Amino acid sequence: MKMGMSYFGNRYVECARNHLKSMKEMGASYVVFTFSENDFFYYERTMQELFDVAHQIGLEVWVDPWAIGGIFGGEAFSKFLLDNPNEWQMRNDNVRVPHVCLNSIKFKEFLKKVVDSIASSNTDYIFWDEPHWYIPQWDGVSDDSLWACRCERCKGLFRKKYGYDMPVNINDDIVDFKKDTAFSFFEEMSKYAKGKGLKNAVCFLPIENEKNISVPYEKVASLSTVDVIGSDPYWYIFGKSVQDFVKPVTERMLEIGKKYSKEVQMWFQGYKVPNGREEEMRKAVDTMYKLGVRNVAVWAYNGATQMSSLRSDNPRKVNEVLEKIFNEFSAL
């Protein structure tokens, strides 16, 4: 059983060395480092040193282009968006939103430089985390009629492909256009990363919302350059139960994985855990294991106690349960 943890919020190498040793002793076989634009611009060599330390300790190194361009999951800001407002997605009400357009050539050129940096330290995997288009609710917008992207670039490509102007109100052609764009994006980026010696892992959002997310899970999974697929059904924050959320999402990923011969990696939630519900984490991992998953990771190391916005109600209890989970399942 492969067990992993995400790691972020600390860039002191010697301090991280102790944390990574602790992970290894608990039973972790790999660590997922977040790699934000801030890391790329200001901590690049430090990050490479962290990757090297993890390898020395015996951990596989996975690297997450965290929140880069505002189209991946993560609590981080994007310098690319600040520097390139013309590359933002455009909503159908002609308001620019701080998420890069997936048709942006300039962004793909930038992201390849990020991949180059990640690959330069013999990293094992690049972890494409929760890829998505603009999601109104994530930006605090409740108007369901809003969607993106309807920038001039997208309108031109849509007109060329479908023979008519892109409508203001979303229709099936727009959904297909967004899916095809996302597929082309990952086809290009995963091929580039593979050419740099990286394995590609993709973590899909646990809800297949065609209008906003519009990432074709099966088509992306079918790519020969994609090695691992999975999802992160974080039941606490979605207000659901393990049975009603973790089980069906895991079954869906296993179905796709079997169809395209891909390893399946599933994530369980170890942050913002409500007081008294810590044992649900073990139930989630047990559910994944019994369904057939053999690669499971938690977000995040030490229950993300270093980030107050993600901290659980009882961090000490969360970490006690996590240690038991890793000790138990890593031995299977």
Tens-digit pLDDT profile for residues 100-122: 999 999 999 999 999 999 999 88
Whether residue 262 has pLDDT greater than 80 = yes
Task: Give a yes or no: residue 88 inside a domain.
Answer: no
Residue ranges making up the domain that contains 271: 2-78+102-137+179-329
Q: What is the CATH number of the domain that holds 22?
A: 3.20.20.80
Q: The tokens of 6 are what?
A: 């995400």
Task: Give a yes or no: residue 171 inside a domain.
Answer: no
Task: Give a yes or no: residue 132 inside a domain.
Answer: yes
Segment 227-257, tens digit of pLDDT: 999 999 999 999 999 999 999 999 999 999 9
Does the pTM surpass 0.85? The reply is: yes
Segment 14-58, tens digit of pLDDT: 999 999 999 999 999 999 999 999 999 999 999 999 999 999 999
**One-letter identity of residue 179:** K
Residue 113 CA: distances (Å) to CA of 36, 59, 116, 189, 249:
13, 25, 5, 11, 33
Nearest to 92 by CA among 17, 178, 34: 178
Task: Give a yes or no: residue 165 inside a domain.
Answer: no
Task: Give a yes or no: residue 145 inside a domain.
Answer: no
Task: Give a yes or no: residue 34 inside a domain.
Answer: yes
Task: Give a yes or no: residue 159 inside a domain.
Answer: no
Burial class of 144 by CB neighbour count within 10 A (0 to 12, 13 to 18, 19+): exposed
Whether residue 210 has pLDDT greater than 80 = no
Residue 65 CA: distances (Å) to CA of 112, 143, 207, 265, 326:
11, 29, 21, 17, 25
Task: Give a yes or no: residue 146 inside a domain.
Answer: no
- Strand 96-100 to strand 88-90: parallel, antiparallel, or no bridges (unpaired)? antiparallel
> Average pLDDT of the chain?
97
CA-angle at 16, arms to 267 and 304, nearest 5°? 40
Phi, psi of 267 (to 5 degrees): -105, 145
Residue 148 CA: distances (Å) to CA of 122, 196, 289:
36, 32, 37
* Tally of structural domains, the chain: 1
In whole angstroms, what is the distance from residue 84 CA to residue 65 CA?
A: 18
Segment 125-177, tens digit of pLDDT: 999 999 999 999 989 999 989 999 999 999 999 999 999 999 999 999 999 99
What is the structure's pLDDT at 65? 98
